[in-house]
Structure 1
Amino acid sequence: MLTLRYDDGTIRLDGVDDADVAVESLPGVAWDDRGLVARTSAYRYADLRDTLGERGVAFEDEVATSVSERLSVSHAYDLRPYQAEAVAAWREAGERGVIELPTGAGKTVVAVDAIAALGVPTLVVVPTIDLLDQWRRELETEFDAEVGQFGGGEQTGAPITVSTYDSAYLRAEDVGGDFGFVVFDEVHHLGGEGYRDAARLLSAPARLGLTATFERPDGAHEVVADLVGPKVYEASVDDLAGEHLADYEIRRIEVALGPDERAAYEDAQGTFVDYLKRSNLSLRSGSDYRKLVMRSGNDPAAREALLAKQRARRIMMNADAKVARLGRLLDRHREDRVIVFTAHTDLVYRLSERFLLPAITSETGAAERREILERFREGTYTRVVTANVLDEGVDVPDANVAVVLAGSGSEREFTQRLGRILRPNADGGRALLYEVVSRETAEERVADRRR
């Protein structure tokens, strides 16, 4: 009889000759001459199982047997209507797919409900150590079950286990057959080349991806759809604002470069633009920009153009007028909880020193970061300044004002920053996001693009 077994990140098919089935007709299955067996990638297990069933091929499923343990888990959440709709849509799609909800909309609640509904050994994969800790605490609070951990200095498996993407990739060949359900938090990370194998090496038939922004500019979300399933439910910020998330307003403030800043900006930007014209390249083309980067390795003029672009970007994003305007905004919102976002670490420290703001950057240690956020949560601090690290992967306490002094043209980054201030306030107040943009610079186009 044909037998399916998990084997080092693959599904091994033993007894193919006896089953009278053409190997090449099965999803992703190929003959492995080294092992003299047929194999397919582990993530194709569900498709393979379904195909065999549809064709009436009898088989013994040792993959399913290995995760047959039933977990008796339940939770105390009262799901919001859109959360219940999201879980229902995912189950209707065959318990595979991606759910897109804004930051602050309770994606964790959706996953906890799905875990309880399926009641099978589950792996939750997250991008950061902060999220690893947060998920483990949440699961231990909600479920009367042991919760294991891969990452953060611990390698302990359990029927419910939380792992970083890095650890999931490293451990997948060994434990990839131990789970019937896998949850990928911030699932857009799976689009990265290295992390894709973390999903390919797992056999779990039930798969759930969670994100605030599913689509990637590089199109890699199509790879995610193949590994996890398509987007099965989405709700935007505007769909939930007012009832489940705070009402919000976005205000764009334009400031002028100083005379010296303007001269330096025009000089640097001119060097960059002139090279593009001479080389018949366009910033509108991603392939042209890649050509420029490649040329910079052996073409001094191309290298100088790239360096000039970086100088111009730094000038427009760190303008003195932005610092002055921030001071007025902080004074205006002295009674509010404010998060200030920048693009460069050196500006974070400049603002921290000038306005006595607690600072969080990639250089901030985990213990110090937790202490700052805890003091922000309890109200000892009412404002914090950061460069990128609070965009995702960190449980940020409630705030109602955000000031974006600088950022990229990424819609994902902008959506995540907006989401940091959308948790409803007790007084029902409106959230405010300020975009401070240098007038008559390329930053105006950057700001337009991220909208």
Structure 2
Amino acid sequence: MADSVPEEDGISSPTFQDLDLSPEYRTGDQPLESFYIPVLQRASSYDRAAGYFDSKSLQYAAQGIAGLITNGGTMRLLTAPRLQSADIEALTDATTEPEELEILGDSLSKVLFEDEYAEYLRTDRCRCLAWMITEGLLDVRIAYMPDADDCNPFQHYHEKIGIVSDHAGNQVAFTGSINETGAAWTANYESFDVFRSWCGGEEARVQRKADAFERLWNNHDPKVTVRRLPDAVREGFEEVSPETVDGKPALDMFFSEEGEGPSPTVREQDERELWTHQQDAIEWWRDHDYTGIFAMATGAGKTLTALRAARLQADIRLTIITVPSKVLLDQWRDEIEAVFGPETRIQECSGRTNWRESILQLVDPYRVGTLQSVHNLPRTVLLTTIHTAASDPFRKAVQYIPPDNLQIIIDEVHNAGAPTFQKALEIDAGRRIGLSATPDRQWDEEGTEAIYEYFGGHEPFSFTTSDAIENGYLTPYEYHPLICELTAQEYEKYAELSAEINTLAARVHSDEDVPRRVLDQYEKLLRDRAHIKKTAKLKPAEFGRFLESSHPTPAIVFCEDTEQLEDLEAELGNRDLSYGVYISNREDEQADAMYRFENGLIDYLLAIKCLDEGIDVPDAPTAAIIASSRNEREFIQRRGRVLRQSESKERAVIYDMFVLPGPNAPKDDDQARRLIEQELDRAKVLMRAAENRDAVEQQLAEELDTYGSGYRYLAYV
């Protein structure tokens, strides 16, 4: 048989006989590069039977069929679907072909067009497969075994054979362990035998494989049922079929620069199973044109959800991830590598790196490169702080990237609404994800509006702490207020400041222009009054009584300022209790304190604000919130630090310093009532999802009864 075929212009077309094919291939022989791709580059038809099928296998099958497209060849793919048990039972019970096709169509449509893998069909090489199906160049049939028995009710068609033909009539057959998946061709340990029709003694083996495939394809094997691809699935492929140039798909990334086939690169994937609400969040994000905020409870998996969403089509996009502080950079880096793969290029852009020297080299391909050149690059992430993301040098570096080539994740997105950081919201990314348990900026409507507008203008995807506890994703908890009263001098000062605030309030909230000095004075009065509650003189003593009570450890203690922290250190020292300090101005102690806390060497970890946002802390069951903040975001985040599930705890406990006016406050005093209402605002949020809510309401009602008629009823949620 001739080893080449003359074409009309007199140039010979290469055939299989040009290749030095081995009779056997194993993983160490690099079968993708040495066998699969070169054979298919010369092929005119390809018949493939493989036991495993999903949309990922279609993606990887596409790596070898560029030659078929170039040659105008055809492919027949016979495969077993990965169906759920209920689907297979329904197929077994089906009595007519239409019922079987409906079951197959529903199941395959769910796999191919409704879950994460659907993204591959929209932008990757699978679109070429969709085009081949639409053009009649690829025919897919589904094989399953209807005769299940009681011992093995879910048997699978699991054969793996391939028959490839060239224009000269040569045929190559192969059979062995290898499936039509990327892992099979590049990662697993596999082996298969090869038979060549032009080699003596092998032609009959090739023919037997071809005959076996034909029997299966035409549904003539009594043990296997073969069905055509259901119309619903075929129509789904047609919807994602790409535009063409000169009758061929216009997807540069399908071919290498030389037109000799696709890149064999296979990226490692994080396959942690997502919780239902995480899957729902990603689907919601898609439905909202790939923009939106995930308002998910601390500990409910916001980070993984965002990265798994961003991983979709990340091969053709530069990803920017901003975090609120440098402390979180390393934590995010670990997650990025786990989800995006260890080969991902991560450029940290912060004060501890020389990012300005290297960022343009990373960014330029996404600004001016072809789809092919971008797709062949490692996935690229710019990991930065919100401070850097809002800076002029960073924004200029990413300024001219087309939006379709850029996506952004902003962690603790409420920070981006601050006037200092709103310039980060000028980054024109086509895909946008904001993360925060509490995205609204308290007392800052303009900042909140700016955030919402940037992320699509719609309400966030919400998954509350109560939702997470109810669904078993967070630890149940108890809430216990620690009652602390103001001294006579403190309440007198509190009432005095309140009177001054009330005098200015009407002017500040009027429609008239208010001088800046008046606004500054008003804001200072508010801060000074809040400071009285946050740093009440009796708090250290009350903390001491807490230390002497029965409570689980280790415990995180949230303080207001350094002075208060030192007072609490004294209480711990007086009782010879072990503790560490984790605050920004004592960075030399941070790592050591966290290490000792993680390893059970200390029982208490004192912090001011460093542990508020996103820091993963050990399996601490207890939080003591000494700073009586009205900032809802702040105390919700502090609660979240101890709600993460752990084998070492069945429930968490939140202790909260609850400030009351004290015995010197006049009965039914308006200022006292407002102070109580402000404290109750926080307590009601924290007790709403607590297991002991009813008991806490009763406790607070009794405490408030001494302040005047009707006060006790304020305690009830």
| TM-score tier after normalising by the smaller chain length | 0.7 to 0.9
Q: Which letter does structure 1 place at the counterpart of 2:385? A: T
Match of 2:545 in 1: 328
Query: Does 2:351 align with 1:152?
Result: yes
2-structure distance, mates of 1:334, 1:270: 35
Match of 1:249 in 2: 478
Match of 2:451 in 1: 224
Q: C-alpha displacement at 1:409, in angstroms? A: 0.9
* 1:360-401 deviation digits (Å, cap 9, x = unpaired): 233121x53232122212222221122223211433223211
From 121, 125, 141, the counterpart of 2:318: 121
> Is the contact between residue 148 and residue 161 of structure 1 (CA under 8 Å) also seen in structure 2?
yes
2-structure distance, mates of 1:434, 1:193: 34
* 1:219-251 deviation digits (Å, cap 9, x = unpaired): 222211221223341100000115000001222
Rg larger in structure: 2
Q: Which letter does structure 2 place at the counterpart of 1:234? A: S
From 476, 481, 491, the counterpart of 1:266: 491
> Is the contact between residue 75 and residue 112 of structure 1 (CA under 8 Å) also seen in structure 2?
no
> Is the contact between residue 580 and residue 605 of structure 2 (CA under 8 Å) also seen in structure 1?
yes
Identical columns (%): 26
Match of 1:196 in 2: 422
Match of 2:517 in 1: 294
Match of 1:166 in 2: 387
Q: C-alpha displacement at 1:77, in angstroms? A: 1.9
2-structure distance, mates of 1:210, 1:310: 28
Q: 1:82-93 alignment to 2 at 5 Å?
A: 82-93=277-288
Q: 1:428-443 alignment to 2 at 5 Å?
A: 428-440=649-661, 443=675
1-structure distance, mates of 2:548, 2:410: 41
1-structure distance, mates of 2:681, 2:509: 14
> Is the contact between residue 407 and residue 429 of structure 2 (CA under 8 Å) also seen in structure 1?
yes
Q: Which letter does structure 1 place at the counterpart of 2:462? A: E
> Is the contact between residue 619 and residue 648 of structure 2 (CA under 8 Å) also seen in structure 1?
no
* 1:136-156 deviation digits (Å, cap 9, x = unpaired): 122124412121111032114
2-structure distance, mates of 1:121, 1:311: 45
Query: Does 2:139 align with 1:139?
Result: no
Q: Return closer, same or farther for 1:407/1:270 CA change in 2, 3 Å cut-off.
A: closer
From 613, 618, 623, the counterpart of 1:392: 613
Match of 2:556 in 1: 339
> Is the contact between residue 337 and residue 382 of structure 1 (CA under 8 Å) also seen in structure 2?
yes
2-structure distance, mates of 1:137, 1:429: 28
Match of 1:361 in 2: 583
Q: 1:177-196 alignment to 2 at 5 Å?
A: 177-178=400-401, 179-196=405-422
1-structure distance, mates of 2:462, 2:267: 29
Q: C-alpha displacement at 1:427, in angstroms? A: 4.6
From 89, 102, 110, the counterpart of 2:297: 102
* 1:288-315 deviation digits (Å, cap 9, x = unpaired): 9x96983387xxxx69x956x7665444
> Is the contact between residue 484 and residue 658 of structure 2 (CA under 8 Å) also seen in structure 1?
yes
The alignment partner of 1:358 has SS state of strand
Per mean C-alpha deviation after superposition, the further-off stretch among 118-127 and 326-335 is: 326-335
The alignment partner of 1:231 has SS state of coil
Q: Return closer, same or farther for 1:423/1:397 CA change in 2, 3 Å cut-off.
A: same
Q: Which letter does structure 1 place at the counterpart of 2:659? A: S
> Is the contact between residue 186 and residue 209 of structure 1 (CA under 8 Å) also seen in structure 2?
yes
Q: C-alpha displacement at 1:335, in angstroms? A: 4.4
Q: C-alpha displacement at 1:421, in angstroms? A: 1.0
Q: C-alpha displacement at 1:413, in angstroms? A: 1.0
Per mean C-alpha deviation after superposition, the further-off stretch among 108-117 and 389-398 is: 389-398
Q: C-alpha displacement at 1:100, in angstroms? A: 0.7
**TM-score normalised by structure 2 residue count:** 0.48
Match of 2:212 in 1: none
Q: Return closer, same or farther for 1:197/1:321 CA change in 2, 3 Å cut-off.
A: closer
The alignment partner of 2:390 has SS state of helix
> Is the contact between residue 560 and residue 627 of structure 2 (CA under 8 Å) also seen in structure 1?
yes
> Is the contact between residue 557 and residue 607 of structure 2 (CA under 8 Å) also seen in structure 1?
yes
Q: Return closer, same or farther for 1:331/1:194 CA change in 2, 3 Å cut-off.
A: same
> Is the contact between residue 169 and residue 198 of structure 1 (CA under 8 Å) also seen in structure 2?
yes
Q: Return closer, same or farther for 1:266/1:327 CA change in 2, 3 Å cut-off.
A: closer
Root-mean-square deviation (CA, aligned residues, Å) is 3.1
Q: C-alpha displacement at 1:359, in angstroms? A: 2.0
**TM-score normalised by structure 1 residue count:** 0.74
Query: Does 2:633 align with 1:412?
Result: yes
1-structure distance, mates of 2:611, 2:655: 17
Q: Return closer, same or farther for 1:94/1:310 CA change in 2, 3 Å cut-off.
A: closer
Q: Which letter does structure 1 place at the counterpart of 2:453? A: D
1-structure distance, mates of 2:509, 2:324: 26
> Is the contact between residue 247 and residue 430 of structure 1 (CA under 8 Å) also seen in structure 2?
yes
Query: Does 2:398 align with 1:175?
Result: yes
Per mean C-alpha deviation after superposition, the further-off stretch among 367-376 and 412-421 is: 367-376
Query: Does 2:592 align with 1:371?
Result: yes
Match of 1:4 in 2: none
- Segments of structure 2 that go 5 or more residues without pairing to the other structure are 1-251, 253-262, 363-379, 574-578, 662-671, 686-717
Determine which structure has greater relative contact order: mean sequence separation of CA pairs < 8 Å that are 6+ residues apart, divided by chain length.
1
The alignment partner of 1:246 has SS state of coil
2-structure distance, mates of 1:223, 1:108: 22
Q: Return closer, same or farther for 1:335/1:265 CA change in 2, 3 Å cut-off.
A: closer
Q: Which letter does structure 1 place at the counterpart of 2:325? A: T
